[in-house]
Amino acid sequence: MSADSLNEQQVLDIGRKIDGIADSIGRVFVGNERIIRLLLVGFISGLHVLIEDVPGVGKTTLAKSLAGSLGLDFSRIQFTPDLLPGDIVGMNVWNQIKNEFVFRQGAIMHQFVLADEINRASPRTQSSLLEAMQEGAVTVDGVTYPLPDPFFVVATQNPATFTGAFNLPEGEIDRFGVSFSIGYPDEAGENLILSRFQNSDPLREVAAVVSAEEVIETRNAVRKVHVSDKVRSFIIEIVRKTREHRLIELGASPRSAQHLQRASQGRAVMQGRRFVIPEDVVALAPAVLAHRLIMAAESRPAETTGFEVIKRIISSCEVPVGIN
Residues 29, 27: Cα–Cα separation, whole Å: 6
Same domain, residue pair 124 and 155: yes
Same domain, residue pair 173 and 313: no
To the nearest 10°, report the CA torsion of 256, 259, 261, 263.
-140
Q: How many CB atoms lie within 10 A of CB 268?
A: 25
Same domain, residue pair 183 and 247: no
Tell me, yes or no, whether 233 lies in a domain. yes
Domain of residue 52: give its range. 9-211
User: Can you give the pLDDT at residue 168?
Assistant: 87
Same domain, residue pair 145 and 200: yes
Same domain, residue pair 106 and 186: yes
Q: How confident is the model at residue 3 (pLDDT cuts 50, 70, 90)?
A: very low
Same domain, residue pair 148 and 247: no
Residues 107, 89: Cα–Cα separation, whole Å: 7
Q: Does residue 239 have a pLDDT over 90?
A: yes
User: Can you give the pLDDT at residue 302?
Assistant: 66
Same domain, residue pair 190 and 243: no
First to last CA, the chain: 9
Name the residue among 231, 251, 235 with its Cα closest to residue 294: 251
Q: Does residue 194 have a pLDDT over 70?
A: yes
Mean pLDDT for the stretch of residues 291-300 = 84
Q: Taking a C-beta distance cutoff of 8 angstroms, is the pair 122, 88 a contact?
A: no
Q: What mean pLDDT is reported for the chain?
A: 91
Strands, E assignment, 181-282: 210-211, 248-250
Three state DSSP letters for 39-90: HHHHHHHCCEEEEECCCCCCHHHHHHHHHHCEECCEEEEECCCCCCHHHHHE
- CB-based contacts of 23: which residues, under 8 Å, 6+ apart? none
* 282 DSSP assignment: H
- Per the structure, how many domains does the chain have? 2
Mean pLDDT for the stretch of residues 166-189 = 92
Tell me, yes or no, whether 84 lies in a domain. yes
Q: Which of 168, 185, 211 is the last residue of a domain?
A: 211
Mean pLDDT for the stretch of residues 162-170 = 83
Q: How confident is the model at residue 205 (pLDDT cuts 50, 70, 90)?
A: confident
Tell me, yes or no, whether 3 lies in a domain. no
CATH at residue 180: 3.40.50.300
CATH at residue 251: 1.10.8.80
Q: Which of 164, 185, 211 is the last residue of a domain?
A: 211
Q: Mind listing the pLDDT tens digit for each residue in 215-224?
A: 999 999 999 9
Q: Which of 182, 211, 240 is the last residue of a domain?
A: 211
Tell me, yes or no, whether 97 lies in a domain. yes
Q: Burial code of 293-311, b = ≥16 C-beta within 10 A, e = fewer? A: bebeeebeeeebebbebbe
Q: Burial code of 230-262, b = ≥16 C-beta within 10 A, e = fewer? A: ebbebbeebbebbeebebbeebbbeebbebbbb
To the nearest 10°, report the CA torsion of 249, 180, 287, 307.
-50
How much of the chain exceeds pLDDT 70, in percent? 96
- CB-based contacts of 233: which residues, under 8 Å, 6+ apart? 320
Q: Does residue 250 have a pLDDT over 60?
A: yes
Mean pLDDT for the stretch of residues 190-202 = 91
Handedness of CA 290, 291, 292, 293 (dihedral sign): positive
Between β-strands 152-157 and 143-146, what pairing exists: parallel, antiparallel or unpaired? unpaired
Tell me, yes or no, whether 27 lies in a domain. yes
User: Containing H/E element for 231?
Assistant: helix 229-242
User: Can you give the pLDDT at residue 88?
Assistant: 94
| Ramachandran quadrant class, 249 (left: phi over 0; alpha: psi -120 to 50; beta: rest) | alpha
Same domain, residue pair 249 and 195: no
Same domain, residue pair 255 and 193: no
Same domain, residue pair 163 and 232: no
Residues 256, 245: Cα–Cα separation, whole Å: 16
Tell me, yes or no, whether 186 lies in a domain. yes
Q: How confident is the model at residue 99 (pLDDT cuts 50, 70, 90)?
A: confident
